[in-house]
Amino acid sequence: MSHILLVEDNQGQADMIIHVLSASGYEVKHALRGLDGAKMARTDRPDLILMDFNLPDIDGRTLAMLLKKQLGDADAPPIVACTARVSANEKHIAKHFGCADFLGKPFTPEELLTVVGRFIPLPGDFKTERKNGDVGQNAR
């Protein structure tokens, strides 16, 4: 099973993301704070990191650089920046700081699964459910 680390300080948003990803066959671990997420990334070695860029203890740009440095650029999992700031400049900044992709908030379950699917395949048993739309409510 593919393992995703979610770093999100909004518990309601996190619950929705966890529900959609878990219902689609992914294993999700969650950190409310950026530095806790960095520690979990070092010990758990996730396949993908979904990370809010507006965290209370460390900003997402700094955390992305820290993760790349601690895990090694070649060994670090892809990081997807999740933020309500969706300008072209913000996307460029996220890429500059080592993020592999960008997901603007609010987003739908389908958008979430599309971005995740770029990096780790949807587990086989859940592909049919996804086609039928059985992956949860809108993430807005």
For domain 3-131, give its CATH number from 3.40.50.300, 3.40.50.1950, 3.40.50.2300, 3.30.1490.100.
3.40.50.2300
What percentage of the chain exceeds 70 in pLDDT? Answer: 88
> Which pLDDT score, from 0 to 100, does residue 122 have?
81
Q: Where are the domains of the chain?
A: 3-131
Place of tokens 């300080």: 9
Q: Mean pLDDT across the chain, nearest whole number?
A: 88
pLDDT band, residue 114 (cuts 50/70/90) = very high
> Taking the C-alpha atoms of 133, 86, 75 and 44 in order, what is their torsion angle to the nearest 10 degrees?
-60
Length of the chain: 140
Residue type, 26: Y
Q: Give the span between the Cα atoms of 83 and 74, in whole angstroms.
A: 25
Confidence (pLDDT) at 124: 67
Segment 91-118 mean pLDDT: 94
Q: How confident is the model over 50-84, as pLDDT tens digits? A: 999 999 999 988 999 999 898 887 888 999 999 88
